[in-house]
Chain A
């Protein structure tokens, strides 16, 4: 392989920087345009219900299964330590603390970016390359009001609500596994959660879920609306959307944890 000259290396670095700056700028403008449509609310009711159903109801089963297993894994991981120190009364606290503050929002966020975000990008991207977005504009309909605002509301709201569902399911999974593996009764598990877990722990995780929802909605919509180049372009956009959402989830998590800790 031929080594790149410094000028070419600099040029590639510059091009990559410009591409990232363009994406970040595009996402910021898109977020502003969406928020502008929300005050006062201008959105299509039917399209909003359709998206709430598609994003929320259809994602619920996979969220429940994943969250339940996550709760169970938390207990399995901490089980040996709990048994060693005979700290069965702290099992519920340990599982709930990690799940509510970190693992729950992150797991559900990543799953949302893979399932809902990818689907959103693919749908919008296909609409873009098949002129459906232009058709909306030609019919005097603003694609942001008609397409993006309902998706934004559905993703943010459902990410928030499904995180609550996921948190509860994870605790159920954890309690069940604690009983089966360690013989910790569900009542002891529950009392440990109630005694040690504060509302702050819950709200910390829910705030993260809310911001992850905004990130997934904006990133997936941005890549969908800037798709070009037919089927290959749609594939590329979906890939970019999932990667960027996942990275953004961890970056946001880092900053939120640093600030709120």
Chain B
């Protein structure tokens, strides 16, 4: 379970995360949506312990991540997998090395076991025979699938997906959302998906959180968001432009 309470973050004098409170129950997939600059990716990075908030509390499976030491944070992060918006694949490693990296760092597995697991995942993300390629030899969609494979290979109980379909064509976006849905269907994983692709997210999330200007302006299920009479919520959900 992820519990965020009264989180504030300032950039200079500007409040970019403004008193956010949010609870994400165990095993649910939450869609974090909102206009650009609303603070979605920043909130996700705060949850992952990559950015320290100025105040507030973030509990990951009961452990407070705000203000804890490196050793404790490493233990929390070992429960987290993250897919980054701009891939964040290690340039100096091949596809095989990138995906197998978390397992190698965890230890306890032979090279052969790691290779088998990497090959299994590469088949699952429809990227066979790409083991020896470097990230600069892959297309955007292929990179996204590789970074997805790297995020899930160690089977972390918590997954953060930061704009997994940004800049991808509809077919590739569909493939990525199918992978996310498959992961959710297995159960047991708590995840947050940040995306602007409302259409793609509708069927793969248990609930949605809408942010604007660093605040949560709506939180609820798909049915609740569709039934909302608040103009901003309806307008954003349906993707309508201002009059």
Q: Which residue numbers of A lie inside 8 Å of B, CB to CB?
A: 50, 126-127, 130-132, 134-135, 137-142
Interface pairs A-B: 7 shortest CB-CB: A135-B88, A140-B77, A131-B88, A138-B82, A140-B78, A140-B74, A131-B84
B101 touches A139 (CB 8 A): yes
Q: Are the C-beta atoms of B74 and A135 separated by less than 8 Å? A: no
Let me know if B228 is at the binding interface, CB within 8 A: no
Q: Which residue of A lies closest to B104 (CB)?
A: A46
- B interface residues (Cβ-Cβ under 8 A, vs A): 45, 48-50, 70, 74-75, 77-78, 80-82, 84-92, 101-102, 105, 160
Distance between Cα atoms of A108 and B78 in the complex (Å): 42
The distance in angstroms between the C-alpha atoms of A126 and B90, with both chains bound, is: 10
Q: Assess whether B78 is in contact with A138, with CB atoms less than 8 Å apart.
A: no
| Given A138-B77, A140-B80, A142-B70, 11 more pairs with CB closer than 8 A | A126-B91, A127-B91, A130-B87, A131-B85, A135-B84, A137-B50, A139-B77, A140-B74, A140-B77, A141-B105, A142-B74
Residues in chain A near residue B87, CB distance under 8 A: 130-131
Measured CB to CB, the closest approach of chain A to B220, in angstroms, equals 28
- Report the minimum CB–CB distance from A230 to chain B (whole Å): 11
The residue from A135, A140, A142 contacting B90, defined by CB atoms under 8 A apart: A135
**Secondary structure at chain A's binding surface: helix, strand, loop or mixed?**
helix
Question: Which of B77, B81, B90 contacts A132, CB < 8 Å?
Answer: B90
Q: Closest CB-CB distance, B64 to chain A, in whole Å?
A: 17
| Nearest opposing residue in chain B for A126, CB measure | B91
CB pair A137 B77 closer than 8 Å: yes
Smallest Cβ distance from B52 to chain A, in angstroms? 12
Chain A minimum-CB-distance residue to B48:
A138
Give the distance in Å from the alpha carbon of A135 to the alpha carbon of B83 in the complex.
Answer: 8
Closest B residue, CB atoms, query A129 = B86
CB of B102 within 8 A of CB of A132, answer no
Report how far A171 CA is from B104 CA in the complex, Å.
46
Pair B86/A139 contact, Cβ less than 8 Å = no
